[in-house]
Structure 1
């Protein structure tokens, strides 16, 4: 059997990643809310003509929240698959994963406030 080239493998990997991102957006309510919020702050960024540095911080904050939310969803699905019944240890893992999303989200809100409060007031 012929081994596929590095480029072919990378293209396939990108395809899997896009499919995963679309699955996340289609199936998870929390990420749908985050996509809407991301669109709103992106529109606000254009409206308030934020600086390049502010764009970088905003994009990093959005990406970090969505990425951690995706990891949280994967962890929860994996935990449910491995141990579908209630288990204290699985509950701990899921709570810690959700806590990570919350911490990153708080950071993203703070970044947004630092960027937009001076422009609003």
Structure 2
């Protein structure tokens, strides 16, 4: 019988798997690379315009929301392609809905960015 790993050891392993997944996502997916570029750009803008702590919190939340949605969308696409590699109408709808969720998150982030940055530009 093998020794059961502790809770802490399991959490450390889980963090390692999550980190590995995030790196894989960034290295392999063009859409997440675009989102990462946008995230870096608005972060630099935040420093340049000296946004408030509250604005930082919203900006960080929107970046997290969009990046998370993009990651989940990618996972759904991988699962759908694994289950049904050839074109299937229902799989297409599933993938479109998943991409639509990313679009909604991205539009919310754009709206948030406009609220933060338009007053600073004009």
Question: Match for residue 37 of structure 1?
Answer: 38
Aligned residue for 2:99?
A: 98
CA distance in 1, matches of 2:23, 2:31: 14
1:10-25 alignment, distance < 5 Å: 10-25=11-26
SS in 2 for 1:89: helix
Give the CA deviation at 1:31. 0.5
What CA distance in whole angstroms lies between the structure 2 residues aligned with 1:35 and 1:96?
22
Tell me the number of residue pairs that the alignment of Structure 1 and Structure 2 aligns. Answer: 121
Tell me the TM-score normalized by structure 1. 0.99
> Equivalent residue for 1:73?
74
Q: Distance in 1 between matches of 2:89 and 2:108?
A: 29
Partner of 1:108: 109
- In structure 1, the gaps of 5 or more residues are none
1:60 has 2:73 as partner:
no
Alignment partner of 1:53: what SS?
helix
Q: For the aligned residues, what is the CA RMSD?
A: 0.4
Q: What does residue 49 of structure 2 align with?
A: 48
Runs of 4+ in 1 over 3 A off after TM superposition: none
Q: What TM-score, normalized to structure 2? A: 0.98
Deviation of 1:85 after TM superposition, in Å, equals 0.8
1:84 paired to 2:85: yes
Structure 2 runs not aligned, ≥5 long: none
Tell me the secondary structure at the aligned position of residue 114 of structure 2. Answer: helix
